[in-house]
Structure formats: C-alpha cells, structure tokens
C-alpha cells in the first residue's frame, strides 16, 4: 500500500512514519506538512491510505478529504488531538480516526483493517453497486456511500464499517466477537456492548421499522446477519 501522512507537526509525522515503516504491507510513505500540498499530491496520484490531521493552518483535513478521488477513493484515517473534531469525522465516509497521542498497536490494527477492506472493495469493484444492499438500501463500496430509497444515509465510520462487515458475509451469521475484532480491533478478552449499540443505530437509519427489523437480523446468543 502507498500511504500519505498529512500533518503540519513534524514530530507527529515522524511518529507515524516510524510505525508504518515496520509494516510490510506499506511499501511507500509520502509526507505533507500542509493541506494545500496534500491536495496537490492527491491530484498527482491516488494513494491507498491517508493519515490526515484535521487541524492545519491552511486547509483543514476535511477540505483535503473532499479533494480525494471519487473513482478510487483512499482509506482516510483522520488524526486529531481533539475529540470534538473526531465527532465531525464520524459524519463523513472516513475509514477511521485516531486520537493523539496514539499507540503503535492501534496504528498497526488500523492499517491491517484498511488493507483488508481495500482488497475486498477492489475485488468487488467490477460488480454493480446496487447488488450490495438489502430492501431499499444500496451500498456503493467504491465511494463509501449508502443510500436508502434513493437518498443518502449519513453513517458514521464505525456504522459503515459494521454494515460492510455484515454484507461481506453474504447472509452468513457473524458473531459479536468477530465484529469487535474486525471493526474495532478488540482482543479476544474484551467484552463490550458496542456492537449491539451500533447495530441499533444502523437499524434506526436503514430499517423501515427499527423495532421489528427485517434485514439486520439478530441471531440469538450469537450475533447478526443480513437478510436480503
């Protein structure tokens, strides 16, 4: 994968580069110290993965993200020291976000999930996007877009990642633990109601009757599956 690090703070760029250089799947790393330079770099060629600082003195990270290719969008990971900025990152189709200071394991896990996701959507890229969905919901994996009844459904990054993880199974059941590991990178010994909470949010946004879901189905005592 080709990665770009966009951050106006040199120590932050060095920190990320040091971790990425230890990951075998990352074969090239470019750096930008400003949003404008990042836009120019994105125009010259599409990277696979972008670590994008939100608060920069010229263009902020959201403006840079808007300049990314729609035909072959990279996996964008927003990086910020302020949690209130991360909230806005949830509102666009970013792959993930990291809060500063971050640890090595979190970076490695994020890159691994991004690599798996990119491989999958490019393998599926020749298919009609409308084939990926259920009911009146369609998912365009290339553009990270979800539409319900023809209108854009605004999903937060983890909601979108959870939806994709369910769709990838083609109707097969996936356990909560599998989803925790795939979407959130949690270890085996972590117990959380995070999956159930995010499933409930998906149902509110995508099901006609969230209280009686027809498509995002619970398999009692185990997990969830998509019923087309």
Q: Where are the domains of the chain?
A: 2-123, 129-226
Chain mean position to CA 85: 16
Domain 129-226, classified CATH 1.10.3720.10, yes or no: no
Residue-wise DSSP of 87-143 = HHHTTTT-SEEEESS--HHHHHHHHHHHHHHHHHHHHSTTS-GGGSEETTEEEETTT
CB 75 within 8 A of CB 95: yes
What the block records as the tokens of 57 is: 């003195």
Note the pLDDT of residue 46.
Answer: 81
- Three-state DSSP class for residue 221: coil
Could you check whether 2-123 and 129-226 share the same CATH topology?
no
pLDDT, tens digit, for every residue of 12-25? 999 999 999 999 99
pTM above 0.75, yes or no: no
CB 146 within 8 A of CB 155: yes
Q: Which of 84, 50, 54 shows the shortest CA–CA distance to 68? A: 50
pLDDT, tens digit, for every residue of 86-125? 556 655 556 777 888 888 888 998 898 888 777 766 665 5
- φ and ψ of 146, to 5 deg: -125, 135
User: The domain 2-123 belongs to what CATH superfamily?
Assistant: Response regulator (3.40.50.2300)
pLDDT, tens digit, for every residue of 19-67? 999 999 999 999 999 999 999 999 888 899 999 998 898 998 989 988 8
Residue-wise DSSP of 22-77 = T-TT--EEEEESSHHHHHHHHHH---SEEEEES--SSS-HHHHHHTS-SSS--EEE
CB 61 within 8 A of CB 100: no
CB 141 within 8 A of CB 164: yes
């Amino acid at each position: 994968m080709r990665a770009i690090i966009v951050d106006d703070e040199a120590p932050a760029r060095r920190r990320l580069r040091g971790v990425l250089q230890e990951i075998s799947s990352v074969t090239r790393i470019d750096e930008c110290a400003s949003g404008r330079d990042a836009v120019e770099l994105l125009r010259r060629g599409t990277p696979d993965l972008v670590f994008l600082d939100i608060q920069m003195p010229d263009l902020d990270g959201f403006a840079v993200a808007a300049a990314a290719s729609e035909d072959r969008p990279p996996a964008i990971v927003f990086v910020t020291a302020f949690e209130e900025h991360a909230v806005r990152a949830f509102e666009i189709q970013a792959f993930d976000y990291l809060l500063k200071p971050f640890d090595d394991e979190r970076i490695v896990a994020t890159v691994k999930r991004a690599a798996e996701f990119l491989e999958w959507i490019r393998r599926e890229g020749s298919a009609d996007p409308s084939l990926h969905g259920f009911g009146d919901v369609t998912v365009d994996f290339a553009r990270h877009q979800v539409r319900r009844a023809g209108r854009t459904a605004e999903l937060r990054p983890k909601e979108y990642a959870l939806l994709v993880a369910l769709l990838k199974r083609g109707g097969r059941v996936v356990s909560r633990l599998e989803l925790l590991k795939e979407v959130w990178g949690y270890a085996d010994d972590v117990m959380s109601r995070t999956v159930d909470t995010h499933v409930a949010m998906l149902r509110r946004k995508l099901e006609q009757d969230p209280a009686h879901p027809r498509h995002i189905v619970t398999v009692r005592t185990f997990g969830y599956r998509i019923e087309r």
